[in-house]
Chains A and B, each alone.
Chain A
Protein backbone atom coordinates (compact mmCIF):
# COMPACT_ATOMS: atom_id res chain seq x y z
CA UNK A 1 0.00 0.00 0.00
CA UNK A 2 1.84 3.05 -1.21
CA UNK A 3 0.53 6.26 0.22
CA UNK A 4 1.92 9.59 -0.95
CA UNK A 5 0.45 11.46 2.03
CA UNK A 6 3.01 10.41 4.58
CA UNK A 7 1.74 12.46 7.52
CA UNK A 8 -1.69 10.81 7.47
CA UNK A 9 -3.07 8.37 9.99
CA UNK A 10 -2.87 4.74 8.94
CA UNK A 11 -5.78 3.74 6.75
CA UNK A 12 -8.72 1.88 8.24
CA UNK A 13 -9.63 -1.58 7.09
CA UNK A 14 -13.22 -1.59 5.93
CA UNK A 15 -15.34 -4.63 5.07
CA UNK A 16 -18.85 -4.78 3.61
CA UNK A 17 -20.74 -8.03 3.48
CA UNK A 18 -24.18 -9.17 2.38
CA UNK A 19 -26.04 -11.92 4.11
CA UNK A 20 -29.58 -12.63 2.96
CA UNK A 21 -30.01 -9.34 1.13
CA UNK A 22 -31.10 -7.88 -2.19
CA UNK A 23 -27.90 -5.94 -2.86
CA UNK A 24 -29.53 -2.57 -2.29
CA UNK A 25 -27.47 -1.89 0.83
CA UNK A 26 -24.22 -2.45 -1.06
CA UNK A 27 -25.47 -0.11 -3.76
CA UNK A 28 -26.36 2.48 -1.10
CA UNK A 29 -22.65 2.59 -0.26
CA UNK A 30 -21.97 3.61 -3.86
CA UNK A 31 -24.77 6.18 -3.61
CA UNK A 32 -22.44 8.39 -1.59
CA UNK A 33 -21.24 9.42 -5.08
CA UNK A 34 -17.99 11.40 -5.09
CA UNK A 35 -17.66 10.93 -1.32
CA UNK A 36 -16.64 7.38 -2.13
CA UNK A 37 -13.24 8.92 -2.95
CA UNK A 38 -13.02 10.20 0.63
CA UNK A 39 -13.93 6.74 1.86
CA UNK A 40 -11.22 5.00 -0.14
CA UNK A 41 -8.76 7.73 0.85
CA UNK A 42 -9.39 6.96 4.50
CA UNK A 43 -9.95 3.23 4.27
CA UNK A 44 -8.85 0.14 2.44
CA UNK A 45 -11.69 -2.09 1.40
CA UNK A 46 -10.43 -5.45 2.51
CA UNK A 47 -13.60 -7.44 1.77
CA UNK A 48 -16.67 -6.58 -0.32
CA UNK A 49 -18.07 -9.49 -2.32
CA UNK A 50 -20.30 -7.38 -4.57
CA UNK A 51 -17.33 -5.35 -5.84
CA UNK A 52 -14.06 -7.10 -5.08
CA UNK A 53 -12.79 -10.58 -5.68
CA UNK A 54 -11.62 -11.40 -2.20
CA UNK A 55 -12.28 -14.96 -1.08
CA UNK A 56 -13.56 -16.23 2.25
CA UNK A 57 -10.22 -17.95 2.80
CA UNK A 58 -8.51 -14.54 2.57
CA UNK A 59 -10.74 -13.29 5.37
CA UNK A 60 -10.08 -16.45 7.36
CA UNK A 61 -6.35 -15.78 7.03
CA UNK A 62 -6.65 -12.29 8.55
CA UNK A 63 -5.60 -11.93 12.20
CA UNK A 64 -8.48 -11.43 14.67
CA UNK A 65 -9.58 -7.80 14.91
CA UNK A 66 -7.82 -6.97 11.64
CA UNK A 67 -10.88 -5.21 10.18
CA UNK A 68 -11.64 -1.87 11.82
CA UNK A 69 -15.21 -1.53 10.58
CA UNK A 70 -17.56 -4.09 9.05
CA UNK A 71 -20.90 -3.12 7.59
CA UNK A 72 -22.95 -6.31 7.57
CA UNK A 73 -26.14 -6.05 5.57
CA UNK A 74 -28.73 -8.75 5.07
CA UNK A 75 -30.43 -11.16 7.42
CA UNK A 76 -29.11 -14.53 8.52
CA UNK A 77 -31.11 -17.35 6.99
CA UNK A 78 -28.65 -19.98 5.85
CA UNK A 79 -25.50 -21.69 7.07
CA UNK A 80 -23.26 -19.49 4.91
CA UNK A 81 -24.74 -16.25 6.33
CA UNK A 82 -24.18 -17.56 9.84
CA UNK A 83 -20.63 -18.76 9.17
CA UNK A 84 -19.57 -15.42 7.69
CA UNK A 85 -21.34 -13.43 10.40
CA UNK A 86 -19.35 -15.33 13.03
CA UNK A 87 -16.15 -15.03 11.03
CA UNK A 88 -16.54 -11.28 10.52
CA UNK A 89 -17.37 -10.79 14.19
CA UNK A 90 -14.05 -12.39 15.07
CA UNK A 91 -12.10 -10.40 12.52
CA UNK A 92 -13.73 -6.99 13.17
CA UNK A 93 -13.23 -4.37 15.83
CA UNK A 94 -16.59 -2.73 15.07
CA UNK A 95 -19.44 -4.74 13.59
CA UNK A 96 -22.38 -2.73 12.32
CA UNK A 97 -25.77 -4.22 11.41
CA UNK A 98 -26.30 -2.18 8.27
CA UNK A 99 -29.81 -1.87 6.85
CA UNK A 100 -33.21 -3.21 7.86
CA UNK A 101 -32.40 -6.87 7.19
CA UNK A 102 -29.36 -7.03 9.44
CA UNK A 103 -31.08 -4.78 11.99
CA UNK A 104 -34.50 -6.44 12.29
CA UNK A 105 -34.76 -9.10 9.60
CA UNK A 106 -36.12 -6.96 6.78
CA UNK A 107 -38.05 -8.25 3.80
CA UNK A 108 -36.42 -11.74 3.91
CA UNK A 109 -37.75 -11.90 7.47
CA UNK A 110 -41.27 -12.21 6.08
CA UNK A 111 -40.35 -15.86 5.53
CA UNK A 112 -40.98 -16.24 9.25
CA UNK A 113 -44.70 -16.25 8.44
CA UNK A 114 -44.18 -19.72 7.03
CA UNK A 115 -41.85 -22.70 7.39
CA UNK A 116 -39.05 -23.91 5.16
CA UNK A 117 -40.96 -26.86 3.72
CA UNK A 118 -43.94 -24.72 2.63
CA UNK A 119 -41.56 -22.18 1.17
CA UNK A 120 -39.63 -24.72 -0.88
CA UNK A 121 -42.82 -26.43 -2.06
CA UNK A 122 -44.23 -23.12 -3.22
CA UNK A 123 -41.07 -22.08 -5.04
CA UNK A 124 -40.08 -25.39 -6.61
CA UNK A 125 -43.48 -26.97 -7.22
CA UNK A 126 -46.49 -24.72 -6.97
CA UNK A 127 -45.59 -21.29 -8.27
CA UNK A 128 -47.47 -20.40 -11.46
CA UNK A 129 -44.36 -20.09 -13.57
CA UNK A 130 -42.68 -23.27 -12.35
CA UNK A 131 -42.49 -26.33 -14.56
CA UNK A 132 -41.00 -29.08 -12.45
CA UNK A 133 -42.94 -32.35 -12.89
CA UNK A 134 -40.17 -34.39 -11.25
CA UNK A 135 -40.35 -32.10 -8.23
CA UNK A 136 -36.63 -31.58 -8.23
CA UNK A 137 -35.31 -29.60 -5.30
CA UNK A 138 -31.80 -28.28 -4.81
CA UNK A 139 -29.62 -30.56 -2.72
CA UNK A 140 -27.16 -29.24 -0.22
CA UNK A 141 -24.76 -32.03 -1.15
CA UNK A 142 -24.08 -33.74 -4.46
CA UNK A 143 -21.43 -36.22 -5.57
CA UNK A 144 -19.67 -35.56 -8.86
CA UNK A 145 -16.70 -37.45 -10.35
CA UNK A 146 -14.37 -34.81 -8.97
CA UNK A 147 -15.70 -35.15 -5.43
CA UNK A 148 -18.48 -33.79 -3.25
CA UNK A 149 -20.12 -30.42 -3.94
CA UNK A 150 -21.98 -28.60 -1.22
CA UNK A 151 -24.11 -25.49 -1.00
CA UNK A 152 -25.28 -23.77 2.21
CA UNK A 153 -28.49 -25.06 3.76
CA UNK A 154 -31.52 -22.90 4.35
CA UNK A 155 -32.79 -22.40 7.90
CA UNK A 156 -36.40 -22.67 8.95
CA UNK A 157 -36.26 -19.26 10.62
CA UNK A 158 -34.75 -15.97 9.47
CA UNK A 159 -32.75 -14.18 12.15
CA UNK A 160 -31.37 -10.68 12.38
CA UNK A 161 -27.66 -10.20 12.94
CA UNK A 162 -27.73 -9.62 16.71
CA UNK A 163 -29.56 -12.91 17.21
CA UNK A 164 -26.47 -14.65 15.84
CA UNK A 165 -23.47 -12.55 16.92
CA UNK A 166 -22.68 -9.59 19.15
CA UNK A 167 -23.39 -6.33 17.27
CA UNK A 168 -21.83 -2.95 18.09
CA UNK A 169 -24.08 -0.53 16.20
CA UNK A 170 -27.17 -0.51 14.06
CA UNK A 171 -27.84 1.61 10.99
CA UNK A 172 -31.46 1.11 9.93
CA UNK A 173 -33.05 1.67 6.54
CA UNK A 174 -34.02 -0.14 3.38
CA UNK A 175 -31.50 0.94 2.30
CA UNK A 176 -29.93 3.33 4.83
CA UNK A 177 -29.70 6.88 3.58
CA UNK A 178 -26.21 7.33 2.17
CA UNK A 179 -25.68 10.67 3.93
CA UNK A 180 -26.11 8.89 7.26
CA UNK A 181 -23.47 6.36 6.28
CA UNK A 182 -21.01 9.15 5.47
CA UNK A 183 -21.67 10.73 8.89
CA UNK A 184 -21.07 7.46 10.71
CA UNK A 185 -18.01 6.64 8.63
CA UNK A 186 -16.51 10.10 9.17
CA UNK A 187 -17.00 9.68 12.91
CA UNK A 188 -15.11 6.39 12.92
CA UNK A 189 -12.32 7.89 10.78
CA UNK A 190 -12.07 10.98 13.00
CA UNK A 191 -11.14 8.85 15.98
CA UNK A 192 -13.57 10.79 18.18
CA UNK A 193 -15.34 8.85 20.95
CA UNK A 194 -18.03 6.57 19.57
CA UNK A 195 -21.57 6.32 20.98
CA UNK A 196 -22.26 3.57 23.52
CA UNK A 197 -22.40 0.05 22.18
CA UNK A 198 -25.80 -1.01 20.89
CA UNK A 199 -26.76 2.48 19.72
CA UNK A 200 -28.86 2.90 16.61
CA UNK A 201 -26.75 5.38 14.63
CA UNK A 202 -27.54 7.36 11.53
CA UNK A 203 -31.15 7.84 12.69
CA UNK A 204 -33.18 9.90 15.13
CA UNK A 205 -34.66 8.93 18.49
CA UNK A 206 -38.15 10.13 17.65
CA UNK A 207 -40.67 9.03 15.07
CA UNK A 208 -41.07 9.94 11.45
CA UNK A 209 -44.24 11.92 12.31
CA UNK A 210 -41.97 14.35 14.14
CA UNK A 211 -40.21 15.14 10.88
CA UNK A 212 -43.18 14.89 8.55
CA UNK A 213 -44.37 18.15 7.02
CA UNK A 214 -47.92 17.07 6.22
CA UNK A 215 -50.68 18.83 8.17
CA UNK A 216 -51.90 16.86 11.14
CA UNK A 217 -54.45 17.49 13.84
CA UNK A 218 -53.88 16.68 17.50
CA UNK A 219 -56.50 13.95 17.66
CA UNK A 220 -56.65 11.82 14.59
CA UNK A 221 -60.01 10.20 13.95
CA UNK A 222 -60.40 7.36 11.50
CA UNK A 223 -63.78 6.01 10.42
CA UNK A 224 -62.59 3.93 7.51
CA UNK A 225 -59.25 2.57 6.32
CA UNK A 226 -58.33 2.65 2.66
CA UNK A 227 -55.64 0.89 0.68
CA UNK A 228 -53.46 3.54 -1.00
CA UNK A 229 -54.98 2.85 -4.44
CA UNK A 230 -58.54 3.29 -3.19
CA UNK A 231 -58.23 6.97 -2.46
CA UNK A 232 -56.96 10.15 -4.09
CA UNK A 233 -54.22 11.50 -1.83
CA UNK A 234 -54.57 15.26 -1.33
CA UNK A 235 -50.77 15.52 -0.93
CA UNK A 236 -50.97 17.76 2.16
CA UNK A 237 -52.94 15.97 4.89
CA UNK A 238 -51.45 13.28 7.13
CA UNK A 239 -51.99 9.89 5.47
CA UNK A 240 -53.55 8.41 8.58
CA UNK A 241 -56.08 11.21 8.73
CA UNK A 242 -57.03 10.32 5.19
CA UNK A 243 -57.51 6.73 6.33
CA UNK A 244 -54.38 5.33 4.68
CA UNK A 245 -52.14 3.38 7.02
CA UNK A 246 -48.76 5.07 7.32
CA UNK A 247 -46.15 3.51 9.60
CA UNK A 248 -44.87 6.95 10.65
CA UNK A 249 -46.03 6.77 14.31
CA UNK A 250 -44.19 3.47 14.80
CA UNK A 251 -41.07 4.27 12.80
CA UNK A 252 -37.83 5.94 13.75
CA UNK A 253 -37.08 9.14 11.90
CA UNK A 254 -33.85 9.80 10.07
CA UNK A 255 -34.65 8.98 6.47
CA UNK A 256 -35.93 12.48 5.76
CA UNK A 257 -39.47 11.08 5.41
CA UNK A 258 -38.63 10.31 1.81
CA UNK A 259 -41.57 8.05 1.10
CA UNK A 260 -44.11 10.58 2.36
CA UNK A 261 -42.31 13.36 0.49
CA UNK A 262 -42.86 11.19 -2.57
CA UNK A 263 -46.55 10.91 -1.65
CA UNK A 264 -46.36 7.34 -0.47
CA UNK A 265 -47.11 6.29 3.12
CA UNK A 266 -44.19 5.28 5.35
CA UNK A 267 -43.57 1.52 5.30
CA UNK A 268 -41.51 1.35 8.45
CA UNK A 269 -38.06 0.38 7.17
CA UNK A 270 -36.24 2.34 9.90
CA UNK A 271 -37.71 0.15 12.62
CA UNK A 272 -39.39 1.29 15.84
CA UNK A 273 -38.37 4.48 17.69
CA UNK A 274 -36.14 4.25 20.75
CA UNK A 275 -39.14 4.13 23.09
CA UNK A 276 -40.54 0.94 21.62
CA UNK A 277 -39.17 -2.51 20.92
CA UNK A 278 -41.89 -3.81 18.66
CA UNK A 279 -43.13 -1.77 15.69
CA UNK A 280 -46.36 -3.71 15.24
CA UNK A 281 -47.31 -3.37 18.89
CA UNK A 282 -46.59 0.33 18.69
CA UNK A 283 -48.67 0.65 15.53
CA UNK A 284 -51.60 -1.30 17.01
CA UNK A 285 -51.44 1.02 19.99
CA UNK A 286 -51.42 4.12 17.80
CA UNK A 287 -54.21 2.97 15.51
CA UNK A 288 -56.33 1.85 18.45
CA UNK A 289 -56.32 5.42 19.66
CA UNK A 290 -57.32 6.81 16.28
CA UNK A 291 -60.28 4.58 15.43
CA UNK A 292 -63.28 6.81 15.80
CA UNK A 293 -65.89 4.55 17.33
CA UNK A 294 -66.92 3.18 20.68
CA UNK A 295 -69.27 0.49 19.42
CA UNK A 296 -68.08 -3.12 19.31
CA UNK A 297 -69.60 -3.87 15.91
CA UNK A 298 -68.41 -0.67 14.29
CA UNK A 299 -64.86 -1.16 15.60
CA UNK A 300 -64.75 -4.69 14.20
CA UNK A 301 -66.05 -3.40 10.89
CA UNK A 302 -63.46 -0.63 10.69
CA UNK A 303 -60.68 -3.08 11.52
CA UNK A 304 -61.87 -5.49 8.81
CA UNK A 305 -60.33 -3.10 6.29
CA UNK A 306 -56.87 -3.78 7.69
CA UNK A 307 -56.53 -7.03 5.79
CA UNK A 308 -53.06 -8.12 6.86
CA UNK A 309 -51.94 -6.32 10.03
CA UNK A 310 -49.01 -8.65 10.64
CA UNK A 311 -47.56 -8.23 7.15
CA UNK A 312 -48.21 -4.51 7.11
CA UNK A 313 -46.89 -3.64 10.56
CA UNK A 314 -43.92 -6.03 10.52
CA UNK A 315 -42.92 -5.68 6.88
CA UNK A 316 -39.29 -4.99 7.78
CA UNK A 317 -39.06 -6.30 11.30
CA UNK A 318 -40.68 -9.67 11.93
CA UNK A 319 -37.54 -11.58 13.12
CA UNK A 320 -36.59 -8.68 15.38
CA UNK A 321 -40.06 -8.37 16.89
CA UNK A 322 -41.26 -9.90 20.16
CA UNK A 323 -42.84 -13.00 18.63
CA UNK A 324 -40.15 -13.32 15.91
CA UNK A 325 -41.99 -15.86 13.80
CA UNK A 326 -45.26 -17.68 13.28
CA UNK A 327 -45.81 -20.27 15.97
CA UNK A 328 -45.08 -23.81 14.77
Chain B
Protein backbone atom coordinates (compact mmCIF):
# COMPACT_ATOMS: atom_id res chain seq x y z
CA UNK B 1 0.00 0.00 0.00
CA UNK B 2 1.40 3.39 -0.87
CA UNK B 3 2.02 5.86 1.89
CA UNK B 4 -0.42 8.65 2.46
CA UNK B 5 0.38 10.80 5.46
CA UNK B 6 -2.07 11.28 8.30
CA UNK B 7 -2.12 14.76 9.78
CA UNK B 8 -3.90 15.43 13.04
CA UNK B 9 -5.00 19.05 12.94
CA UNK B 10 -6.02 20.97 16.03
CA UNK B 11 -8.01 24.02 14.93
CA UNK B 12 -9.24 26.77 17.20
CA UNK B 13 -12.96 27.34 17.18
CA UNK B 14 -12.94 31.05 16.46
CA UNK B 15 -10.53 31.53 13.56
CA UNK B 16 -8.83 28.43 12.19
CA UNK B 17 -11.83 26.10 12.27
CA UNK B 18 -13.99 28.74 10.66
CA UNK B 19 -11.24 29.25 8.07
CA UNK B 20 -11.19 25.53 7.35
CA UNK B 21 -14.96 25.61 7.13
CA UNK B 22 -14.69 28.40 4.58
CA UNK B 23 -12.33 26.24 2.52
CA UNK B 24 -15.10 23.65 2.49
CA UNK B 25 -17.99 25.95 1.73
CA UNK B 26 -15.91 27.60 -1.00
CA UNK B 27 -15.51 24.10 -2.48
CA UNK B 28 -11.75 24.31 -2.55
CA UNK B 29 -10.02 21.04 -3.35
CA UNK B 30 -7.17 20.16 -1.03
CA UNK B 31 -5.36 17.11 0.28
CA UNK B 32 -7.71 14.82 2.25
CA UNK B 33 -4.96 13.95 4.73
CA UNK B 34 -6.06 15.97 7.73
CA UNK B 35 -8.12 14.71 10.64
CA UNK B 36 -9.54 17.82 12.23
CA UNK B 37 -10.07 18.18 15.96
CA UNK B 38 -11.83 21.37 16.96
CA UNK B 39 -10.65 23.00 20.16
CA UNK B 40 -11.87 26.21 21.73
CA UNK B 41 -8.49 27.95 21.57
CA UNK B 42 -4.95 27.08 20.49
CA UNK B 43 -4.04 27.91 24.08
CA UNK B 44 -5.96 24.76 25.01
CA UNK B 45 -3.33 22.63 23.30
CA UNK B 46 -1.55 20.58 25.88
CA UNK B 47 1.75 19.09 24.77
CA UNK B 48 0.26 15.68 25.59
CA UNK B 49 -2.20 16.11 22.69
CA UNK B 50 0.68 16.36 20.23
CA UNK B 51 2.70 13.55 21.81
CA UNK B 52 -0.34 11.26 21.93
CA UNK B 53 -1.16 11.98 18.30
CA UNK B 54 2.32 10.75 17.33
CA UNK B 55 2.02 7.77 19.63
CA UNK B 56 -1.26 6.78 17.97
CA UNK B 57 0.34 6.90 14.55
CA UNK B 58 0.01 10.44 13.21
CA UNK B 59 2.67 11.35 10.64
CA UNK B 60 2.30 15.04 11.35
CA UNK B 61 0.50 17.40 13.70
CA UNK B 62 -0.86 20.76 12.63
CA UNK B 63 -1.94 23.40 15.10
CA UNK B 64 -3.78 26.49 13.90
CA UNK B 65 -4.95 29.46 15.91
CA UNK B 66 -5.96 33.09 15.46
CA UNK B 67 -3.43 35.61 14.21
CA UNK B 68 -1.37 37.32 16.93
CA UNK B 69 -3.49 39.98 18.58
CA UNK B 70 -6.72 38.36 17.36
CA UNK B 71 -7.18 35.64 19.98
CA UNK B 72 -10.75 35.39 21.19
CA UNK B 73 -9.33 34.93 24.68
CA UNK B 74 -6.69 37.66 24.33
CA UNK B 75 -3.54 35.59 24.95
CA UNK B 76 -4.25 31.94 24.16
CA UNK B 77 -2.38 31.89 20.87
CA UNK B 78 0.72 33.40 22.48
CA UNK B 79 0.68 30.69 25.12
CA UNK B 80 0.38 28.15 22.36
CA UNK B 81 3.33 29.69 20.53
CA UNK B 82 5.59 29.54 23.59
CA UNK B 83 4.69 25.93 24.29
CA UNK B 84 5.06 25.04 20.66
CA UNK B 85 8.66 26.29 20.47
CA UNK B 86 9.52 24.09 23.46
CA UNK B 87 7.73 21.07 22.02
CA UNK B 88 9.65 21.51 18.76
CA UNK B 89 12.88 21.37 20.69
CA UNK B 90 11.76 18.35 22.68
CA UNK B 91 10.52 16.25 19.76
CA UNK B 92 13.73 16.94 17.82
CA UNK B 93 15.67 15.54 20.77
CA UNK B 94 13.41 12.50 20.62
CA UNK B 95 14.35 11.89 17.00
CA UNK B 96 11.14 13.21 15.45
CA UNK B 97 11.73 15.60 12.54
CA UNK B 98 10.80 19.18 13.38
CA UNK B 99 8.86 19.51 10.10
CA UNK B 100 6.32 16.99 11.32
CA UNK B 101 4.75 19.63 13.52
CA UNK B 102 3.53 22.98 12.33
CA UNK B 103 1.94 25.99 13.96
CA UNK B 104 0.19 28.46 11.69
CA UNK B 105 -2.20 31.36 12.17
CA UNK B 106 -5.36 31.11 10.08
CA UNK B 107 -8.12 33.70 10.28
CA UNK B 108 -11.79 33.00 9.65
CA UNK B 109 -11.47 34.45 6.16
CA UNK B 110 -8.38 32.50 5.12
CA UNK B 111 -9.96 29.38 3.61
CA UNK B 112 -7.60 29.51 0.65
CA UNK B 113 -4.53 29.84 2.84
CA UNK B 114 -5.74 26.91 4.93
CA UNK B 115 -6.12 24.69 1.86
CA UNK B 116 -2.62 25.65 0.70
CA UNK B 117 -1.22 24.99 4.15
CA UNK B 118 -2.65 21.47 4.22
CA UNK B 119 -1.38 20.80 0.69
CA UNK B 120 2.10 22.00 1.58
CA UNK B 121 2.27 20.06 4.80
CA UNK B 122 1.09 16.90 3.05
CA UNK B 123 3.86 17.39 0.50
CA UNK B 124 6.46 17.83 3.25
CA UNK B 125 5.28 14.68 4.99
CA UNK B 126 5.35 12.71 1.73
CA UNK B 127 9.03 13.63 1.42
CA UNK B 128 9.73 12.76 5.06
CA UNK B 129 8.01 9.38 4.86
CA UNK B 130 5.96 7.70 7.57
CA UNK B 131 6.56 8.62 11.22
CA UNK B 132 8.45 5.95 13.14
CA UNK B 133 7.08 6.77 16.59
CA UNK B 134 4.44 4.07 16.67
CA UNK B 135 6.65 1.38 15.14
CA UNK B 136 9.46 2.21 17.58
CA UNK B 137 7.08 1.76 20.50
CA UNK B 138 5.81 -1.52 19.11
CA UNK B 139 9.25 -3.01 18.50
CA UNK B 140 10.86 -1.77 21.67
CA UNK B 141 8.28 -2.63 24.29
Contact = CB atoms under 8 A, between A and B. Distances in A.
B82 A288 contact: yes
A287 B132 contact: no
Given A289-B79, A323-B133, A328-B95, A303 B55 contact: no
Interface stretch (A144-152, A171-179, A181-189, A291-299): A291-299
Given A281-B51, A322-B55, A159 B46 contact: no
Interface string A186-200: 000000000000000
B137 interface: yes
Most buried by B among A277, A311, A325: A325
Contacts of B93: 113, 308-311, 326
Contacts of B24: none
A299 B79 contact: no
B25 interface: no
25 contacts: A163-B141, A276-B48, A278-B47, A284-B83, A285-B46, A288-B80, A288-B82, A291-B82, A293-B82, A294-B75, A296-B81, A303-B82, A303-B85, A303-B89, A306-B86, A310-B90, A310-B94, A322-B51, A322-B55, A323-B94, A325-B136, A326-B95, A327-B133, A327-B136, A328-B136
Interface in B96-141: 96, 131-133, 136-137, 140-141
Interface in A265-285: 276-278, 280-282, 284-285
Interface residues of B, number: 31
Interface residues of A, number: 36
A284 B87 contact: yes
B137 A278 contact: no
A310 B45 CA distance: 19
Contact of A280 (B82, B85, B90): B90
B86 A322 contact: no
Interface of A: 113, 156-157, 159, 163, 276-278, 280-282, 284-285, 287-289, 291, 293-294, 296, 299-300, 303, 306, 308-311, 313, 322-328
